Homo-oligomer: A and B are copies of this chain.
Amino acid sequence: METMKNLTTLCLKQVIKPRPKQSHKGNFGKILIIGGNKNMSGAAIMSASAAVHAGAGLVTCATDSSNFFALHARLPEAMVVDHSDFETLTQAIKQADTIVIGPGLGLDQLARQILKITLSTVSPTATLIIDGSAITLLAQQNEPLHPTCQVIYTPHQAEWARLSGLAIAEQLPQANQSAQQRLAAHVVLKKYHTEIYHQDGTISRLPIGGPYMATGGMGDTLTGIIAAFMGQFKTLAPADVLDAAVYLHSAVASDLSQSKYVVLPTDIIEHLQAFMAQFS
């Protein structure tokens, strides 16, 4: 097993570069966020907002139709799709180059169907970020579908236990990596000092972040940043881009924690653009 690389600000400098002058919104990702049932609408809103503020070109949110109002009130930059309209959802999945599934999706029958459609429809050239309830749903299946595209799982420790079969006490680097390699995907294991297991066998460790980030919605926000980065920095190595996205999330929070006792997901979202400006 490789040793873990401790991430530093350098990982941001390597990824957040000036954009090519002759580029347009189509060059910076067609992102689809799938999530947000009637009770957890906010999760999808935060994921979509983080994506827009982190530089995504085009963001669409497939969510319960009752969530359209709040989403547009906060984020007019995003388009919406009713996630129970499977025909339109399928179309949206086909057009996206980067997809997040999971934030606030829930665990009911509709969520299960949406996940199934997503896994079977996603383009082989797309990147799929699987988070939250979508991880739990996948773990419940006997023979989980494995999409052929690039996949990034973003479990916290309990979700990783479900997906990997490793109890939290067993979640040591070597065991984690074995499980991750069986999944043939990147795994962002969210914990005190988050670990990122890349598909190429390298492992990164996040030395920043802290308990001021312990508010519901923090993980949803991370998915949006990852999506924006995978969508807009397509010419760079995916492992580097993923590291930068995860680092950015905590770096902004760490910065804001100097002046706030807790840093909310929406605080991070609001400061992404200014923080990223330091590196371009």
Contact = CB atoms under 8 A, between A and B. Distances in A.
Interface of A: 16, 19-25, 27-28, 38-43, 45-46, 49, 52-53, 55-59, 66-81, 156, 192, 210-212, 214-218, 257-267, 272-274, 276-277, 279-280
B68 A215 contact: no
A280 B263 CA distance: 13
Contact of A56 (B38, B42, B77, B215): B215
How many copies the complex holds: the figure is 4
A25 B210 CA distance: 11
A42 B218 contact: no
Given A25-B215, A41-B80, 6 more contacts: A28-B214, A40-B79, A40-B80, A56-B215, A77-B265, A262-B273
Contacts of A75: 42
A57 B273 contact: no
A279 to B, nearest CB: 8
Interface centre among A72, A76, A262, A266 (most CB of B within 10 A): A76
Contact of A211 (B20, B69, B192, B279): B20
Contacts of A67: 72
Contacts of A267: 273
Contact of A273 (B19, B49, B260): B260
B59 A216 contact: yes
8 shortest A-B CB distances, which residue pairs?
A42-B76, A261-B276, A19-B211, A70-B72, A260-B273, A73-B73, A70-B73, A45-B76
